[in-house]
Chains A and B, each alone.
Chain A
Amino acid sequence: MIENLIDGPLWYLSLAVFSLGVLWQLAAILFASRKPDLSVARGSAGSSAIKTVFSRFLPHREMRARIGIQYIAGYLFHLGLFALLFFAAPHVLFLEENLLGFGWTPMPHWAFIVSAQAAFLGLIILWLRRLMNPATRLISTRDDHIAALLTFVVMLTGCLALLEEFTALRLLHRFTVELWLIYFPFSTLMHAFTFVPSRAFTGAWFGRRGVDA
């Protein structure tokens, strides 16, 4: 009964909520009304937008010593999770059979394990930094914590089901993935889609005013 629900209707529902929710959020950002900027441009908005998209990949020189661990943990987590999501053999097979109809070469098992370890370590450190640093703790919302916790639970249940021999563990993992997909569009997890336009907008806004952002 519960197996049919998780593998069937709940999966399609979560997929629909995720897809429509993400599209709706992106459209809302894209078509949001903005006041025309009447100021005289002191710099190029376009080049500053592109520059900011890439410059944010490295910490600002003055901040490097203070937030170095945040950057390292950030890369560990995001690259690890990306590799896991799209290149772990069980995921590639799942996407091929259930969603896309085609697959690609998955990464070897050892790389799968290393990616998972990097993602786990990165997420634990990032979450602890959020809690330990007074500034990040104060600006963190309940949504930030729920998003981190949900992502951690998804990764953990995936880790528990590594052997791929127990239906209950597979279902537990899939169920948490479905919860994650439903929560995604309405949370800070949306930064996976918005980080590029957000950086570009900030860069353009400051660049037009001649500020090196």
Chain B
Amino acid sequence: MKIQTLLLLLCMMLPQFSQADGPPKKQTYPEGLLSLNPGGELWSDIRQRGDSVLDGTSQVKGVDSGILINASGVEWANFRVNELTTYSSIALAAVFVLIFLFFLIRGKVGIEGGLSGRMVKRFTDYERIVHWTLAVVFLFLAITGLILLLGRPLLIPLFGKEVFSLLASASKESHNLVGPLFLVSLLMMLFSFVRRNIYEKGDLTWLLKGGGFIGDGHVSGGFFNMGEKTWYWIVILIGLVVSVTGLILVMPIFGQGRIIMEIVHVIHVICALALIVVSIGHMYMGSVGTEGTLEGMKTGYVDINWADAHHDRWGKECHEKDLIISAEEYDKLVGTSSVNEADGSKTT
């Protein structure tokens, strides 16, 4: 009953408002009335048009609770839907095209003389666990993040709105939950590998010669070459930015307002996208792009010829310290096959 009365009163007031919105008429205003169109000016202030920013008051106490309409939010939403989505799609497509072209031109980067079967320990179990933990968490976040970013234009036409809404909800919740694990695994990565990723003399030469991937010239490298070190620091530094911005977005409890959240969101997306794009290159080079590389992260051992070809300074150290093991020893250590002690025959 009260609502009906209220609606009736509002309806009675409407003509007065419509008169106020009409063209200004020459008439005398009561004392104290300063504007010809107070309703229009009020809405102009509420929408934050012009120089003045209206900060109202509200029973609700909180950040930005006095602002009815956030004008910058519209700009952010438009930027997110138009520019961010479009350029992200182009960047992702471009990296796949570049990798495909690189593969066509260069093919799989082999090792001179092929693999010897004699192996050398490159990574400990712990280091590989750290690498794969970060990789698993990163891939999960990348997939769910891309669903949230590009799902609307790409997935709705394929699966329809209902399926996409379900997928988006699942992605958002899981992305927010798993997100902080990225920071944890990133810190594990930082402390495990930092010592060997400090730039040293000779790294610049590697860069200037294109890492040996361009042309046929041999490029000298230590345990990690310049490319790997740069990838490491990209992961750490941009990863930290992604993590911190992610935490700011997922925990709006530190007084961060809408404008901060909008800026942080854009930084988060751009940095995450940069990581995704470079990581696709890393995945290619670490697997099908280079012969014998994946073995290092699978078993912890690499072929000595691989070490000599890509990390000759470290390879030389392995030779000098006699760290190379035979194929049989390697098989025993990693458990890929068993050697029959009696006749020496090997079964894989």
Contacts and interface: CB of A to CB of B under 8 A. Distances in A.
Contacts of A174: none
Interface stretch (A47-55, A115-123, A184-192): A115-123
B136 A162 contact: no
Contact of B335 (A69, A128, A138, A162): A138
Interface string B175-216: 001101100110000000000000000000000000000000
A120 B133 CA distance: 11
B133 A124 contact: yes
Interface residues of A, number: 26
B170 A161 contact: yes
Contact of A116 (B132, B177, B334): B177
Contacts of A120: 177-178, 181
Contact of B170 (A117, A134, A160): A160
A117 B335 contact: no
B41 interface: no
B52 to A, nearest CB: 39
Q: Name, among B128, B137, B165, B170, the residue most crowded by chain A CB atoms within 10 Å (CB to CB).
A: B170
Contacts of B133: 121, 124-125, 128
Contacts of A165: 169
A125 B335 CA distance: 20
Given A124-B137, A133-B125, A166 B169 contact: yes
Contacts of B96: none
Given A113-B177, A128-B133, 16 more contacts: A69-B129, A117-B180, A117-B181, A120-B181, A128-B129, A132-B125, A132-B132, A156-B174, A159-B177, A160-B170, A160-B174, A161-B170, A162-B173, A162-B174, A163-B172, A168-B166
Contacts of A169: 166, 169-170
Interface string A87-98: 000000000000
B166 A134 contact: no
A129 interface: yes
A137 interface: yes
Main secondary structure on B side of the interface with A: helix
Interface of A: 69, 113, 116-117, 120-121, 124-125, 128-129, 132-135, 137-138, 156, 159-163, 165-166, 168-169
Contact of B174 (A135, A138, A159): A159
A162 B174 CA distance: 8
B142 to A, nearest CB: 16
Given A117-B177, A161-B170, A163-B169, A69 B126 contact: yes
Contacts of A160: 170, 173-174
Contact of A121 (B125, B170, B174, B184): B184
Interface in B323-339: 333-335
Nearest to B180: A117
A133 B333 CA distance: 10
14 contacts: A69-B129, A117-B177, A117-B178, A120-B177, A128-B128, A128-B133, A128-B136, A132-B129, A132-B132, A159-B173, A160-B170, A162-B177, A166-B170, A169-B169
B129 A129 contact: yes
Contacts of B177: 113, 116-117, 120, 159, 162
Contacts of A129: 125, 129
A135 B332 CA distance: 10
A169 B335 CA distance: 40
Interface string B290-320: 0000000000100000000000000000000
Q: Name, among B129, B169, B185, B300, the residue most crowded by chain A CB atoms within 10 Å (CB to CB).
A: B129
A57 to B, nearest CB: 22
A77 to B, nearest CB: 13
A137 B173 CA distance: 33
B178 A163 contact: no
A181 to B, nearest CB: 23
Nearest 3 Cβ contacts at the A-B interface: A160-B170, A162-B173, A134-B335
Contacts of B335: 134-135, 137-138
Nearest to A121: B181
A134 B300 CA distance: 10
